[in-house]
Amino acid sequence: MSEKSENNRLTVFKTYKLYVGGKFPRSESGRVYEVTDSKGNWLANAPQASRKDARDAVVAARKAFGAWSGATAYNRGQILYRIAEMLEGRRDQFVREVADAEGLSKSKAGAVVDATIDRWVWYAGWTDKIAQVVGGGNPVAGPYFNLSTPEPTGVVAVVAPQDSSFLGLVSVVAPVIATGNTAVVIASEKAPLPALSLGEVLATSDLPGGVVNVLSGRTAEIAPPLAAHQDVNAIDLAGADDVLAKELEIAAADNLKRVLRPQPVDYTETPGIDRMTAFLETKTVWHPTGALGASGSSY
Amino acid sequence: MPTTAHTLTDAAASDSTLRRFLHGLPGVDAVGLEARAASLGTRSIKTTAKAYAIDLAISMVDLTTLEGADTPGKVRALGAKAVHPDPTDRTAPATAAVCVYPDMVATAKQAVAGSTVKVASVATAFPAGRAPLSVKLADVREAVAAGADEIDMVIDRGAFLAGQYMKVYDEIVAVKEACGTSARLKVIFETGELSTYDNIRRASWLGMLAGADFIKTSTGKVAVNATPANTLLMLEAVRDFRAQTGIQVGVKPAGGIRTSKDAIKFLVLVNETVGEDWLDNHWFRFGASSLLNDLLMQRQKLATGRYSGPDYVTVD
């Protein structure tokens, strides 16, 4: 191909789409909104999800919950690590998108993407270790065992951070799914592109469809129906401002959702296990050791 | 379309006249039929109309359990649900009927006693219909004796596809007689096994000529069950049949209808094809089980404004 014809090539723009149930639909409403970089230059049109898209995403997340929470922790770890591998291969694209979205230099954006990939690896390691840390055998005075194990809460709605469009996003999504929850994520309103591209990575990382669902649009429009949804078990308010967070918390009280309130977080630091334990429930079982023989034990 | 009453009364006089009549029915424009059904499915039904449609659909459900593993306990639970579909909201209407196997009729009858809910029983060696006529009739009589208000029979698809229309006709007449005056007869064609739309039209007319009170698409036991297109075709048949004979016949799509959205699409078909006369559970039914839960969740959504979830309806 001659150089001239390459220069004349028409630009192929990317159509950003939602990621719901392992598929890439447009918004049911047909709406899009303009996404600009930090200087106000147009980048792309992102789908503007409606409450019906949110409802569909919850259905997908609920459907995926059984298999994902039932998968072995080891398997979940493998898949989370696979996400890191896939991200590594598309590093350049994410560096560009993060640089545009957050107004960072190439090298700073590169550092953010590297930190994000490492975050997946970090949580991949935690999947089969969290149970030993927050669960265990309880001492009892009798012929039985008493065991506590952490269990995933269910479908978690995640309002992703508004400013940290990629590292922040992964820092709130990874802990939710690492422990077996499924997630409906509302991407950063003004910088949704890295989140929507992440959907493409998740779709090719052996992550079952529906475990993570990514919506973009007006946070104040999509979040309230999710907070009030009777089939959502928990909500992470990381990206909600004070007024919205209060409204969402009130709506969430109706079916006793677990609520993680927004708090100041430095996403570049090692996260700790708080975000994982926020969406775990502890199940305690009593297990008889068997009938006692004359010698005091059946063993 | 046959135009005179004369042709209709003579149609079933003999094997050859019946064949001539059924094969004389105009062929179905399959593309047009499917396009019509699809276009009626695009209607947007909102707010008060939606609330009305959901309540109407609930009142039209034949709540069905047809499993080998049916226990008396399950049938009783189903009966209780049919009478009060939403225990937390007594304004939800009762369903039309519960639909069970013949040996469960007595149990179901007890479970819905004192309510408007009817007991329907499948019979005639459901779902295959492969049994001698004497066995089928005994099946029907047992169900009626046990108190069934409605009998859902299956036609002999083998005979129909082999062109033995008179055999199918005679069987329906015999079953209708066995139902007596107390039970209404629904005739299941198993449209998924009839291969063509022409066959569905022929089966509809055959069933109505033989005295069916209801024509029903499917057993729910094969791959293709009720679709908007085959239901539309059957609605057209009952409309034309009433125009010629003055006799109104009901329609029951069954199997594969799982969401409120689907159910409302069927109601639009009914309204646009046969009109309001059929918008009543005496003339139109849904054979379904999981549909009811979705209708109830949509009903709760309309009442509260919050999306509901499967934790708030019974699991059956």
Q: How far is CA A294 from its chain centroid?
A: 54
Tokens 């479908």, residue located: A155
Distance CA B224, CA B276 (A): 28
Catalytic site includes residue B176: no
**Residues in chain A within 8 Å Cβ distance of B312:** 230
Q: Name the CATH topology of B5-304.
A: TIM Barrel (3.20.20)
Nearest CA distance, A134 vs chain B (angstrom) = 28
Q: Residue B257: how many CB atoms within 10 A of its CB?
A: 28
Helices B47-59, B260-273: axis angle to 10 degrees equals 90
Distance CA B270, CA A119 (A): 56
- State pLDDT tens for residues A57-114: 999 999 999 999 999 999 999 999 999 999 999 999 999 999 999 999 999 999 999 9
Pick the catalytic residue: B86, B139, B152, B294?
B152
Q: What is the average pLDDT across A221-225?
A: 97
The answer to whether the Cβ–Cβ distance between B306 and A229 falls below 8 Å is: yes
- What ranges in chain B are assigned the alpha helix state H? 5-11, 15-24, 30-40, 47-59, 72-83, 105-111, 133-145, 157-161, 165-179, 197-209, 228-245, 260-273, 290-304
A273, A123 contact by CB (below 8 A): no
- Name the residue of chain A whose CA is nearest to B304's CA: A228
Q: What is the average pLDDT across A137-148?
A: 90
- Name the residue of chain B whose CA is nearest to A52's CA: B307
How confident is the prediction for chain B on average, in pLDDT? 94
The one-letter code for the residue type at A124 is A
No. of helices (H) and no. of strands (E), chain B: 13, 8
For residue A3, being part of any structural domain is answered with no
**Residues in chain B within 8 Å Cβ distance of A231:** 307-311
The answer to whether the Cβ–Cβ distance between B306 and A55 falls below 8 Å is: no
Count of CB pairs separated by less than 8 Å, A with B: 27
pTM score, whole prediction: 0.89
Residue B3 pLDDT more than 80? no
- CB contact A229 to B (< 8 Å): yes
A135, A120 contact by CB (below 8 A): no
Q: Tokens for A194?
A: 């890295």
- State pLDDT tens for residues A5-32: 567 899 899 999 999 999 999 999 999 9
Nearest CA distance, A276 vs chain B (angstrom) = 24
A176, A183 contact by CB (below 8 A): yes
- CB contact A63 to B (< 8 Å): no
A233, A155 contact by CB (below 8 A): yes
Nearest to B151 by CA among B183, B182, B125: B183
Structurally, chain A folds into a number of domains equal to 1
- CB contact A154 to B (< 8 Å): no
Residue B1 pLDDT more than 60? no
Phi/psi zone of residue A157: left (φ > 0), alpha (ψ -120 to 50 degrees), beta? beta
B61, B81 contact by CB (below 8 A): no
- Higher pLDDT residue, A213 or B13? A213
Residue B23 pLDDT more than 90? yes
**Which percentage of chain B shows pLDDT scores above 90?**
93
Nearest to A79 by CA among A202, A184, A176: A202
Nearest to B265 by CA among B237, B239, B286: B286
- State pLDDT tens for residues A158-217: 999 999 999 999 999 999 999 999 999 999 999 999 999 999 999 999 999 999 999 999
Mutation to test the B interface, candidates A230, A250, A257, most B Cβ within 10 Å: A230
For residue A2, being part of any structural domain is answered with no
The answer to whether the Cβ–Cβ distance between B307 and A229 falls below 8 Å is: yes
For residue A1, being part of any structural domain is answered with no
Catalytic site includes residue B216: yes
pLDDT for A150 equals 96
Mutation to test the A interface, candidates B88, B258, B307, most A Cβ within 10 Å: B307
- Bond into A175 cis (ω within 30): no
The two beta strands, B61-64 and A280-288, are unpaired
pLDDT for A7 equals 74
A67-81 exposure pattern, b = at least 16 Cβ within 10 A, e = fewer: ebbebebeebbebbb
Domain encompassing residue A80: 12-288
Distance CA B97, CA B78 (A): 10
Pick the catalytic residue: B81, B176, B252, B265?
B252
Write the DSSP symbol of residue B316: -
For residue A4, being part of any structural domain is answered with no
Nearest to B250 by CA among B264, B227, B231: B231
pLDDT for A294 equals 64
- State pLDDT tens for residues A259-298: 999 999 999 999 999 999 999 999 999 988 766 666 655 5
Helices B290-304, B260-273: axis angle to 10 degrees equals 90
Strand ranges across the sheet with A144-152 = A136-137, A144-152, A280-288
Q: How far is CA B280 from its chain centroid?
A: 13
pLDDT for A144 equals 85
Nearest CA distance, B301 vs chain A (angstrom) = 9
Residue B4 pLDDT more than 60? no
User: Strand (E) positions, chain A?
Assistant: 32-36, 42-47, 136-137, 144-152, 155-159, 182-186, 212-215, 234-236, 258-260, 280-288
Nearest CA distance, B46 vs chain A (angstrom) = 14
- CB contact A225 to B (< 8 Å): yes
pLDDT for A288 equals 82
pLDDT for A1 equals 44
The answer to whether the Cβ–Cβ distance between A229 and B305 falls below 8 Å is: no
Residue B211 pLDDT more than 70? yes
Nearest CA distance, B241 vs chain A (angstrom) = 41
Catalytic site includes residue B167: no
Instruction: Give me the CATH number covering residue A34.
Output: 3.40.605.10
For residue A294, being part of any structural domain is answered with no
Q: Where are the domains of chain B?
A: 5-304
pLDDT for A220 equals 97
Distance CA B201, CA B35 (A): 17
pLDDT for A170 equals 98
Distance CA A36, CA B49 (A): 41
pLDDT for A229 equals 96
For residue A5, being part of any structural domain is answered with no
Distance CA B152, CA B167 (A): 18
**Contacts (Cβ under 8 Å, ≥6 apart) of B295:** B54, B57, B58, B61, B85, B260, B263
ipTM of the complex: 0.82
Q: What is the average pLDDT across B86-94?
A: 94
Using DSSP, state whether B297 is helix, strand or coil: helix
For residue A174, being part of any structural domain is answered with yes
Residue B8 pLDDT more than 90? no
Q: Choose among B306, B310, B312: nearest Cβ to A228.
A: B306
User: Strand (E) positions, A216-272?
Assistant: 234-236, 258-260
In this structure, of A215-219, A221-225, B11-15, the range with the lowest mean pLDDT score is B11-15
Interface of B with A (CB under 8 A): 300, 305-312
The two beta strands, B61-64 and B97-100, are parallel
Give B127's pLDDT tier (boundaries 50, 70, 90).
very high
**Residues in chain B within 8 Å Cβ distance of A55:** 307
The answer to whether the Cβ–Cβ distance between B310 and A62 falls below 8 Å is: yes
Distance CA B188, CA B287 (A): 11
B249, B239 contact by CB (below 8 A): no
The answer to whether the Cβ–Cβ distance between A231 and B306 falls below 8 Å is: no
Pick the catalytic residue: B216, B262, B265, B294?
B216
**Residues in chain A within 8 Å Cβ distance of B306:** 225, 228-230, 254
Nearest to A184 by CA among A223, A239, A127: A223
**Contacts (Cβ under 8 Å, ≥6 apart) of A256:** none
DSSP string, A61-127: HHHHHHHHHHS-HHHHHHHHHHHHHHHHHTHHHHHHHHHHHHT--HHHHHHHHHHHHHHHHHHHHHT
Q: How far is CA B32 from its chain centroid?
A: 24
